[in-house]
Amino acid sequence: MLLERISWYIQKFVNLCWVLLMLAGYFILNPGRAKGLFFNIFSSINEFYKISHGGLRNFETTKTFQELINRPIFAQSNLFNQDSKVTRSMETHFLSTLVCAFNPKIIFEIGTYNGFTTLHLAVNSQPSCRIFTLDLPPDYQIQPGKQYSYDDLQVIQLSQETITKRFYKKHPLEHKITELFGDSSTFDFTPYHGKIDLIFIDGNHSYDFVKRDTENAFKMLSPHGMIVWHDFDYIIHKEVFQYLQSLSKKHPIYSVPDTRFAIYGKNIV
């Protein structure tokens, strides 16, 4: 029995070595395909790191999550147009389910990019729901003398590349969406204070921007509102991770397993 067990492990180890060797050869010939593999590896490592070293609470331990489990909700989400630079399929579906479950009257999104997530917010919300989405203006210029991180430059580039070809353009629900343009660090959020039921933060990922966007989000929250942050991961968006870690000492913020979401809600218990 012992020899059979040892033989079984040896065979599996040989299989693993053969697979790794074949993958190495494949990626040498097709270097572009390695990106997907490394992305999945990073995602798995991030998930374990959030569990082992993350200070946020687990959303699945809340009564709110149990209510969602016990109440079948069939949200609409698009699988085939996903982009690695926006929400993954699981994340898109989770956000869509939140909208279906809580029926926000007003939604505010910071960071539009290609409008993929924005359209999901429109599709899954009530007909009377209003959605405001804020992004950099098309004529935004990099300011001389100001230091930009890679994330800063990426946000600027993505905003300018997709501003005229967003998913909700000419969609029947486009009328629910109001485009706003400006730098979130200087934008006047005052008209929205105390009015927003769901705020989705997915703009600039540097520490100062996430902090400022979050502070403005708390001011905009309605009495029953919630905030969802994207890119709560340590490897690629370390500053988002660090800020939310520190913020979780003041507010009950939850990490959503199998996503890069963190969530805060006044009624999440």
List, as one string, the DSSP characters of 125-168.
Answer: S-TT-EEEEEE--TT--PPTT----HHHHHHHHHHHHHTTS-TT
- Shared-domain flag, residues 259 and 194: yes
CA–CA separation, 12 vs 2, rounded Å? Answer: 16
Report the pLDDT value the prediction gives residue 204, as an integer from 0 to 100.
87
Contact 191, 223 (CB under 8 A): no
- Shared-domain flag, residues 154 and 200: yes
């993505």: which residue's tokens?
158
Return the H-helix or E-strand segment holding 36: helix 34-53
Return the H-helix or E-strand segment holding 124: helix 116-124
Predicted TM-score (pTM) of this structure = 0.87
Please provide the size of the chain in residues.
269
Report the pLDDT value the prediction gives residue 45, as an integer from 0 to 100.
82
Report the pLDDT value the prediction gives residue 143, as an integer from 0 to 100.
76
- Shared-domain flag, residues 80 and 12: no
Of the three residues 53, 71, 91, the one that is the final residue of a domain is 53
CATH number at residue 89: 3.40.50.150
Report the pLDDT value the prediction gives residue 29, as an integer from 0 to 100.
85
Report the pLDDT value the prediction gives residue 123, as an integer from 0 to 100.
98
Of the three residues 53, 71, 97, the one that is the final residue of a domain is 53
- Shared-domain flag, residues 247 and 217: yes
Contact 118, 177 (CB under 8 A): yes
Q: Give residue 219's domain range.
A: 57-140+148-265
User: Coil, strand, or helix at residue 64?
Assistant: helix
Of the three residues 53, 69, 92, the one that is the final residue of a domain is 53
Contact 119, 167 (CB under 8 A): yes
- Shared-domain flag, residues 84 and 190: yes
Domains contained in the chain, number: 2
Phi, psi of 62 (to 5 degrees): -90, 155
- Shared-domain flag, residues 17 and 126: no
In the chain, what's the furthest Cα-to-Cα distance? 73
Report the pLDDT value the prediction gives residue 262, as an integer from 0 to 100.
96
Phi, psi of 190 (to 5 degrees): -50, -45
Which of 230, 82, 185, 200 is CA-nearest to residue 131?
Answer: 200
Pairing state between β 106-110 and 57-58? unpaired
Report the pLDDT value the prediction gives residue 108, as an integer from 0 to 100.
98
Q: How far is CA 100 from CA 77, 105, 168, 217, in A?
A: 11, 11, 19, 21
Q: Please list the pLDDT of the chain residue by residue as tens digits (269 residues).
A: 678 788 888 898 888 899 889 888 888 888 777 777 777 777 778 777 877 778 899 999 999 999 999 988 999 998 887 776 677 889 999 999 999 999 999 999 999 989 999 999 999 999 999 999 999 988 888 877 666 667 778 778 888 888 888 999 999 999 999 999 999 999 999 999 999 999 999 998 889 999 999 999 999 999 999 999 999 988 888 899 999 999 999 999 999 988 999 999 988 98
